[in-house]
Amino acid sequence: MMEKKIHEECGVFGVFSPRSCDVASLVYYGLFALQHRGQESAGIVVNEDGVFSWHKDVGLVNAVFDQQKLESLGMGSMAIGHVRYGTTGAGGRANAQPIVINHLKGGLAVAHNGNLTNSYDLRFALEEQGSIFHSTSDTEVIAYVITKERLKTGSIEDAVSAAMNSIQGAYSLVIMSPSKIIAARDPHGFRPLCYGMTEDGTYVVASESCALDAVGAVKVREIEPGEILVFTKDGIVSRTEHCKKVRKSFCVFEYLYFSRPDSEIDGCSVHDARRRAGSFLAESFPIDADIVMGVPDSGLDAALGYSQRSGIPYGIGLIKSKYVGRTFISPTQKTRESLVRLKLNVIPSVVKGKKVILVDDSIVRGTTIGRIVRILRDGGAKEVHVLSSAPAFKNPCYYGVDIDSREKLIACKYSVDEIARIIGADSLGFLPVEQAKRLSGTDGADFCLACFDGAYPTEIPKNLGKSCFERKISENPKFQKKDE
Amino acid sequence: MMEKKIHEECGVFGVFSPRSCDVASLVYYGLFALQHRGQESAGIVVNEDGVFSWHKDVGLVNAVFDQQKLESLGMGSMAIGHVRYGTTGAGGRANAQPIVINHLKGGLAVAHNGNLTNSYDLRFALEEQGSIFHSTSDTEVIAYVITKERLKTGSIEDAVSAAMNSIQGAYSLVIMSPSKIIAARDPHGFRPLCYGMTEDGTYVVASESCALDAVGAVKVREIEPGEILVFTKDGIVSRTEHCKKVRKSFCVFEYLYFSRPDSEIDGCSVHDARRRAGSFLAESFPIDADIVMGVPDSGLDAALGYSQRSGIPYGIGLIKSKYVGRTFISPTQKTRESLVRLKLNVIPSVVKGKKVILVDDSIVRGTTIGRIVRILRDGGAKEVHVLSSAPAFKNPCYYGVDIDSREKLIACKYSVDEIARIIGADSLGFLPVEQAKRLSGTDGADFCLACFDGAYPTEIPKNLGKSCFERKISENPKFQKKDE
Amino acid sequence: MMEKKIHEECGVFGVFSPRSCDVASLVYYGLFALQHRGQESAGIVVNEDGVFSWHKDVGLVNAVFDQQKLESLGMGSMAIGHVRYGTTGAGGRANAQPIVINHLKGGLAVAHNGNLTNSYDLRFALEEQGSIFHSTSDTEVIAYVITKERLKTGSIEDAVSAAMNSIQGAYSLVIMSPSKIIAARDPHGFRPLCYGMTEDGTYVVASESCALDAVGAVKVREIEPGEILVFTKDGIVSRTEHCKKVRKSFCVFEYLYFSRPDSEIDGCSVHDARRRAGSFLAESFPIDADIVMGVPDSGLDAALGYSQRSGIPYGIGLIKSKYVGRTFISPTQKTRESLVRLKLNVIPSVVKGKKVILVDDSIVRGTTIGRIVRILRDGGAKEVHVLSSAPAFKNPCYYGVDIDSREKLIACKYSVDEIARIIGADSLGFLPVEQAKRLSGTDGADFCLACFDGAYPTEIPKNLGKSCFERKISENPKFQKKDE
Amino acid sequence: MMEKKIHEECGVFGVFSPRSCDVASLVYYGLFALQHRGQESAGIVVNEDGVFSWHKDVGLVNAVFDQQKLESLGMGSMAIGHVRYGTTGAGGRANAQPIVINHLKGGLAVAHNGNLTNSYDLRFALEEQGSIFHSTSDTEVIAYVITKERLKTGSIEDAVSAAMNSIQGAYSLVIMSPSKIIAARDPHGFRPLCYGMTEDGTYVVASESCALDAVGAVKVREIEPGEILVFTKDGIVSRTEHCKKVRKSFCVFEYLYFSRPDSEIDGCSVHDARRRAGSFLAESFPIDADIVMGVPDSGLDAALGYSQRSGIPYGIGLIKSKYVGRTFISPTQKTRESLVRLKLNVIPSVVKGKKVILVDDSIVRGTTIGRIVRILRDGGAKEVHVLSSAPAFKNPCYYGVDIDSREKLIACKYSVDEIARIIGADSLGFLPVEQAKRLSGTDGADFCLACFDGAYPTEIPKNLGKSCFERKISENPKFQKKDE
């Protein structure tokens, strides 16, 4: 798709090396490979013999870090990093991660992907004890809870273990203490987290396996839901005893949209899952067409899957500009219409006089797909049939995905036929939820599909009505205001 | 491909509007769509009632221009722009285009795509008359020649016409005088140049039709080889009488590599030409394979063509990072090898145990394709057969393409079988030159294929031996040095 | 002198307007006038109806804020700001002020000038309760103590009042809650703090009166030592009852060096105090000389005072470059010697053959004054007599002045005669401490002169030996490191 | 004064070293010392064995050059540099100097301070021969004329010598060829130019001697009016034979305003000349006053001179902010009045109840001095008598000084008494022209005083009426426009 329609918060990355070396660069490359998970801010913390050096700022990885900035972080044997999606504005830099704090027992750096469902309650309880908060992010709450537990326990991993009894919701964490790297994943395993090893014995933790590939590490395995993995100079220790067993609920949208096609999760590559989605679409929506095309880039895999299953030829008919990025000057409303083809252009010779099947990764508001349908018709397409490789969005997500508010979700307001008419398509189909469950090639009982079917795997936040799509109070820009 | 292996100099763009308006933004968007033709520098010159305002600098279009810079150019009824590939360093900014000069009869702005074959001789002759040069670019020579002719003729278009008797080689020009926009193309038509019109009557000249699409203009036609097209407030005038008739020699590599797939040249889309190249490869190199894949992005079309012709399934097995750009911090030599997969990664599930056909747009030094073959084998490919959709490079180009020096061109040193061994491929094939001639769907007699077959359509520069690949003297960084 | 030899931490500024307006710009201009108090970082927090917006970063005020940044802070009825001197590096941005936090009862922004003497103990006690710290600055400790007290009291001003029973040392604070601005000064009144009012009824709090002048405010009075002044929409309330009465101990170095000559403190202008210092020097050190000159800029006033008292002509013989700033590329050691005169140059015609009295504001290491003496001799001066308008530094400061470590203080190691020899002067004199007590025109019993005479007005930090000049542990860059 | 009211174009600097070394840094420091002569753009060209590397851009020296930029210029044995005052906008960068060009015989770099009076005619003649111009600066004309002469002569110095027969007006030039540095000054010697030598045998040419001091060079002497000085590896050669003898006409305003007080010109320091101006004022305008003060910084020397001559005490009563610079955000008109004291503040205790004499370097429009008079009265001054150490401006300058247009010159419109009333002064006096002639301590017959008395030492430009203050046609932004 042209613009990210749906946002997730964050990619995390960590390195534990047997020797002091340029760990900052390893994290830099790792974050680079995870850039698709968050374009708002980036940060790296290096640990050299217990002393932390860090830099973080709003911007893409290669904008936040230049050679000089990387070098200023120095050598070290450990480092963690983070890329973040988030709101812009005054709070942007304050919420950049990893957060770095000091507590009684030493320094602590935390990088977090996910969203707590009880952060408001935890924060309120901490504030009642006199705690102060510098940001509005869940991650500071996590740091606090760990710090409180640390006073009562004998090690940082004990503190993390104890903290996991308090914090609820989605979290894939990479934590750095003066002498350890700790990876931890919530019991439902909403967000991905895996680790690997390079040839020279450096351990690498990452949100996705593509980041392991990027630094030449070989994947060992996923961090299991509820698992705590501790990397020290004495080796790796896995802790799982603390963890209540619950049903795994991996976010299906990681397969459909967030993760990179070359990442592999739980034994299934994201590319294969997407192709399977296309294959399911071909079974559910057999269409008499001449060609099947994907909306670049994330619709291509599913389009190929549809083509392979149906036998309808796969085509390349839409070209996306490689250079459209954040700093691009937006056209004014007046010129916007004529400039649609600046970002995405059609190859008329491919679609002219053809019945076209167009596969996109999802449909949120419907405006973008509507424009693309028009571009295809301008290019001479005789028919345009639109298929979404994700089911229709109908519910909010409490686990770290920033879906539009309900009044903007087209599927909350219109029937499928109405939507087809609105976007100008000859027909429209969404991937059935039942098929989404089988995306990874197994029966799929371990997916969270709440945004599609409303079946939330956890208690949902009291303070937030189930049907409301507003952002959590803790992220409210007016948070500072209170009576005195 | 991952990095541009072969460089061409420049994209040009011009606008003639019936009224004063935000022509700077139109050029900005047009250059944006031509960014693939040159990433070194960008520039825009706006003409408001005969007064020129301009800005140019090294960098990508969206780095050189921000909102403030665009606004500082003001309104106007005409504007031209340029994106350039070129060497970095001290000369970078000095050589940025369009160049803007004053002569006796007024101001002149020139944007040029191509390369003169007699620029050294012309420059020497001008210097003998006391001329001074601020840059080392051909374009300044062109401006001088036009200026000299302008003194003897009655109009700027007469001067351009007369200048075309002196300048030789490849040139697609967009020229702006106080009251006119002039588009001109060399008699061989080496480089593309076309024009179109928007709904509100604004004329647009561009190197490629994708830039017309980007600003909502409808293509009218190519500027013909040797043609001069003059845009004034009284309309368009075409001049062709001045021009010696020579055989058209359109650069075939524009179809194979330089131009965007969604551009259409002489009635044939670049995408179709590339697919046809793949189809020809399938005919010339039938291979027993399970899957055919392209090296993203420019190998994808030909791979699809091969698949369609051969029936071997098309696959998506290589993922290119969207975020790798100019400002990326290069890994040190030490870490380079382990970081190959940062820019391009394999999807193992796609290639594992498979006999793979890999189509790339061209093979220059062979290092990049060698790395990709290794990535595929790491991913489990059983066989890797490499096909190049361009013939083998064996000769220098004098018409604006910056091909590597001969000692670095792998096809100048080794046989096809040796190259296959060097890059680790099970087999290797280059598109036969005879087939390259038929790429646009016609008999192709009007292509320049000199870099492949050595049949130069023009006299080649005296000062440069035919077999030498060194850059012209006029671009030599030591050019300032002379005895006194 | 040319470079700041002695550093103080910070200038503070606050605005309370009866209506929402562009308070950010007022703070910007106020901080600009206080820039001499801190060049390391700058920050502004705007309060619009209880919602805080802020920006802070390392750099000078006009580097940190451009028009866009100022506008992004929006309108408001209250704002506070801060300029800071501090160490560069990783901690630089984290320690920028004002700090902005949330606690149970609302938001809080704190700007602090001074230095606590018990911050280490307070921090340790807070950490024992599970508090986390994001920075190493005293100011975060202050915010914590206020927050803790806020839970037990009925208003933010009660909390500040209670906090003043815990925090010890030097502090001039400007605090902003959702509905109030609070100014507070430690009982000894080490650092200055005053307030004024503009014609339109806006209250302004500032470290120095020159910042009131800068925004067109008329000074009302100093905030008294130990006083809390609360600005609300209902007016101003002064609280002093909470405060143990102690002897006022205003830092004499504020008159001699830190404050701007045009600031007025306790009824005496800084310029007059400096001229008086020169007058005292004339009484203590009558010298047979032809001319008396000051080292620009801060030695000029005292030189004029010496001239006026002694009758020896005042001369302008040293010129300081206006353009030497932070971003200047430092010469290498090799070229340093030859480049002394880049920053400060002599006018030979003024000093040639003359007996010169040279007045500097202070002498710390002696290297700079030694270079200037040499410059004067190079210019032809027959004799050079050096006078310091400050007494000799012999003791550390615990109240916010960053004096060099004792082993670098020339007066700790050598006698006055030895120093004269070292710096190449014909004679040398320091302002006697007894005279420093009378600088403001009164008997001066209320000055802190500890850095000169060692008579500390407070208990000094346990954790820091009296004779040690090392920075506080809490500012140690290795602070993160602890055993686990 | 607070803002530069009158602008001159440029400072020049050149280095010739016997060996390859870091000449770029020497020029950097030299330009830094000349920064007061031009703040618009800066540039450095380094010559390493005949190969030129350069960088130039708009901005202050330390903004245009950082460590990386300086290093990119490499080592060399020669270098020249330039700081420029000029108009902002599109032409800003194009007009930055030194200009670097190539001609038949080699490279040429030219740095120029001054203004030609026949540049329009020369340019027209060159254009008639087909020359093209990239900028609107005189310097390009000079480069052309030298180039034309170079074709007819045997050496670059012969060419410069011949060129001096064509170019008329004010020029102090530093020229670099592949193997030589050439300094040249127009026969009237309007602008200063001197040279010196460092201990290691490096020759340095500079606009002012303060720049020699800055790099540790000892001044040898002025370049004489009409002299050409050639620096080669074989030594220095002076050429004067070519030069028609004319009356020397050194710009008196160099003493009064442009040059730094620590520069020495023709044996008289600028500081002494300014003090002498003050002394003359005391003779011409004896006033009954309590104190005499200068407007910082350039009025201080004359104020001291007045005090020394009259016996009225010298005072420091105005403080100028050190941090006000180019990037400062200008207050809106609404807030401007209240923010006058941001840049310049009064010390009330110094002026309260006093009769004050205020000396400024010149009075152009009268607005600034009017504001300062008001500030003094706000501070309690009983009387304010204003003296200008320059005579009243009544005529345009054709030799490189950018004086305001006549309709804005207060002395063209009002009598002295009227001006006193307008600026709110109790009395006003301008330095009499006759006294200005004696500023350097001699009879002063060799000054140009045309801006005061209208006695132009050269023919004035035909194309520009004597009474018109408009900028030359060649600098007209509409220069590009011509009929075709």
At B204-232, the pLDDT tens digits run 999 999 999 999 999 999 999 999 999 99
Band (pLDDT 50/70/90 cuts) for residue B407 is confident
User: Do you know the residue count of chain B?
Assistant: 484
Band (pLDDT 50/70/90 cuts) for residue A159 is very high
| Residues of chain B neighbouring A319 (CB-CB closer than 8 A) | 210, 260-262, 271
% helix, strand, coil for chain C, step of 5: 30, 25, 40
Nearest residue to B218 (alpha-carbon basis) of B231, B204, B232 = B204
Q: What is the pLDDT of residue A462?
A: 65
Chain A / chain C CB contacts < 8 angstroms: 151
Q: What is the dihedral of CA B457, B459, B461, B462, to 10 degrees?
A: 150
Burial environment of residue C433 by CB neighbours within 10 A (0 to 12, 13 to 18, 19 or more): middle
Question: Rounded to the nearest 10 degrees, what angle do helices A156-163 and A138-152 cross at?
Answer: 120
- Ranked by mean pLDDT, the top range of B3-12, C440-449, D385-394 is D385-394
Q: Distance (Å, rounded) from C-alpha C358 to C-alpha B436?
A: 85
Assigned token pair, D125: 């003649």
Could you say which of D214, D262, D319 has the minimum Cβ distance to residue C346?
Answer: D262
Q: Pick the residue from chain D with its C-alpha nearest to C341.
A: D214
Q: Distance (Å, rounded) from C-alpha A480 to C-alpha B296?
A: 49
Q: Pick the residue from chain D with its C-alpha nearest to B140.
A: D132
Could you say which of A29, A268, A331 has the minimum Cβ distance to residue B342?
Answer: A29
Q: Which residue has the higher pLDDT, A349 or C481?
A: A349
Q: Distance (Å, rounded) from C-alpha B209 to C-alpha B217?
A: 9
Question: Rounded to the nearest 10 degrees, what angle do helices C300-310 and C270-284 cross at?
Answer: 50
Inter-residue contact D41 to D142 (CB < 8 Å): no
Mean pLDDT across chain B, nearest whole number?
89
- Ranked by mean pLDDT, the top range of A266-280, B387-401, C314-328 is A266-280
| Amino acid at residue number A286 | P
* φ and ψ of B79, to 5 deg: -165, 150
Written as tens digits, the pLDDT of chain C (484 aa) is 334 456 667 999 999 999 999 999 999 999 999 999 998 899 999 999 999 999 999 888 988 998 889 999 999 999 999 999 864 333 467 788 999 999 999 999 999 999 999 999 999 999 999 999 998 888 999 999 999 999 999 999 999 999 999 999 999 999 999 999 999 999 999 999 999 999 999 999 999 999 999 999 999 999 999 999 999 999 999 998 876 778 899 999 999 999 999 999 999 999 999 999 999 999 999 999 999 999 998 899 999 999 999 999 999 999 998 886 645 565 555 555 556 788 899 999 999 999 999 999 999 889 889 999 999 999 999 999 999 999 999 998 889 887 767 788 899 999 999 999 999 999 999 999 999 999 998 876 699 999 999 999 998 876 553 333 333 433 444 445 665 5
- Ranked by mean pLDDT, the top range of A95-104, B330-339, D228-237 is D228-237
Residue B34 CA, distance from chain mean position: 9
Inter-residue contact B211 to B220 (CB < 8 Å): no
Could you say which of B51, B131, B180 has the minimum Cβ distance to residue D131?
Answer: B131
Inter-residue contact B279 to B436 (CB < 8 Å): no
Instruction: Give yes or no for residue D87 having a pLDDT over 50.
Output: no
Residue located via tokens 């610079």: D325
Q: Where are the beta strands (DSSP E) in B311-362?
A: 318-320, 344-346, 355-360
Distance from CA of D12 to the nearest CA of B (A): 20
Distance from CA of A241 to the nearest CA of C (A): 22
Band (pLDDT 50/70/90 cuts) for residue B96 is confident
Instruction: Give yes or no for residue B5 having a pLDDT over 70.
Output: no
Q: What is the pLDDT of residue D343?
A: 86
Band (pLDDT 50/70/90 cuts) for residue B390 is very high
Q: Where are the beta strands (DSSP E) in B297-441?
A: 318-320, 344-346, 355-360, 383-388, 401-402, 427-430
Instruction: Give yes or no for residue D135 having a pLDDT over 70.
Output: yes
Using the Cα atoms of residue B452, residue B454, residue B459 and residue B464 in order, give the sign of their dihedral: positive
Mean pLDDT across chain D, nearest whole number?
88
Instruction: Give yes or no for residue B1 having a pLDDT over 70.
Output: no
CB contact under 8 A, D28 and C341: no
Band (pLDDT 50/70/90 cuts) for residue D65 is very high
Q: What 3-state DSSP class applies to C282?
A: helix
Question: Rounded to the nearest 10 degrees, what angle do helices D156-163 and D138-152 cross at?
Answer: 120
Q: Distance (Å, rounded) from C-alpha A460 to C-alpha A482?
A: 25
Q: What is the pLDDT of residue B8?
A: 61
Inter-residue contact C343 to C331 (CB < 8 Å): no
Assigned token pair, B61: 């279009």
Distance from CA of B180 to the nearest CA of A (A): 25
Q: What is the pLDDT of residue D481?
A: 61
| Helix/strand/coil (H/E/C) assignment for every residue in A196-244 | EECCCCCEEEECCHHHHHHCCCEEEEECCCCCEEEEECCEEEEECCCCC
| Residues of chain A neighbouring B316 (CB-CB closer than 8 A) | 261, 271, 300-301, 304
Instruction: Give yes or no for residue A278 having a pLDDT over 80.
Output: yes
Band (pLDDT 50/70/90 cuts) for residue D473 is very low
| Amino acid at residue number D160 | V
Distance from CA of B13 to the nearest CA of A (A): 15
Q: What is the pLDDT of residue A330?
A: 56
CB contact under 8 A, D60 and C323: yes
Assigned token pair, D484: 């075709």
What are B420-476's pLDDT values in tens digits? Answer: 999 999 999 999 999 999 999 887 669 999 999 999 999 887 655 333 333 343 444
Q: What is the pLDDT of residue D407?
A: 79
Nearest residue to D241 (alpha-carbon basis) of D299, D287, D187, D195 = D187
Q: Pick the residue from chain A with its C-alpha nearest to B28.
A: A329
Helices and strands, counts by H and E, chain D: 19, 25
Q: Spell out the residues 6+ positions from residue B421 whose beta carbon is closer than 8 angstroms to its own.
A: none
Q: What is the dihedral of CA A231, A233, A235, A241, to 10 degrees?
A: -50
Q: Over the range B91-126, which residues count as b (16 or more CB within 10 Å of their CB) and which as e?
A: bbbbbbbbbbbbbbbbbbbbbbbbbbbbbbbbbebb
Nearest residue to D239 (alpha-carbon basis) of D224, D230, D253, D228 = D228
Residue C135: half-sphere exposure toward Cβ, Cα within 13 Å: 27
Q: What is the pLDDT of residue B7?
A: 61
Residue located via tokens 């097209």: B229
Parallel, antiparallel or unpaired: strands C447-448 and C250-251 = parallel
Q: What is the DSSP string of C404-424?
A: PPGGG-HHHHS-HHHHHHHHT
Inter-residue contact B75 to B20 (CB < 8 Å): yes
User: A320: part of which helix (H) or strand (E)?
Assistant: strand A318-320
* φ and ψ of D158, to 5 deg: -60, -40
| Residues of chain B neighbouring A348 (CB-CB closer than 8 A) | 264, 269
Q: What is the pLDDT of residue C249?
A: 94
Kindly list the distances between the CA atom of residue A69 and the CA atoms of A27, A64, A66, C276, C319, in Å, as whole numbers in the listed order.
13, 8, 5, 49, 37
Parallel, antiparallel or unpaired: strands A427-430 and A291-294 = unpaired
What are D347-359's pLDDT values in tens digits? Answer: 999 999 999 999 9
**Mutation target vs D (from C270, C338, C346; most D CBs, 10 A cutoff):** C338
Q: Is C10 a catalytic residue?
A: yes
Could you say which of A216, A261, A313 has the minimum Cβ distance to residue B338?
Answer: A216
Q: Pick the residue from chain C with its C-alpha nearest to A126.
A: C104
What are B448-463's pLDDT values in tens digits? Answer: 999 999 999 998 876 5
Least confident range of B6-20, B178-192, D103-117, D134-148: B6-20
* N-terminal to C-terminal alpha carbon distance within chain B: 48
Instruction: Give yes or no for residue A418 having a pLDDT over 60.
Output: yes
ipTM: 0.90
CA angle A223, A229, A232 (to 5 degrees): 140
Instruction: Give yes or no for residue A213 having a pLDDT over 70.
Output: yes
Instruction: Give yes or no for residue D467 having a pLDDT over 90.
Output: no
User: Do you know the residue count of chain A?
Assistant: 484
Q: Which residue has the higher pLDDT, A279 or C445?
A: A279
Could you say which of A73, A94, A102 has the minimum Cβ distance to residue C479?
Answer: A102
- The mean per-residue pLDDT over the stretch D85-98 comes to 65
Q: Over the range D264-296, which residues count as b (16 or more CB within 10 Å of their CB) and which as e?
A: bbbebbbbbbbbbbbbbbbeebebebbbbbbbb
Q: What is the pLDDT of residue D86?
A: 61
Q: Pick the residue from chain A with its C-alpha nearest to C153.
A: A484
Assigned token pair, B432: 């036969």
Q: Distance (Å, rounded) from C-alpha C395 to C-alpha C400?
A: 13
Instruction: Give yes or no for residue B384 having a pLDDT over 80.
Output: yes
| Amino acid at residue number A388 | S
Instruction: Give yes or no for residue D44 having a pLDDT over 60.
Output: yes
Band (pLDDT 50/70/90 cuts) for residue B42 is very high
Q: What is the pLDDT of residue D92?
A: 66
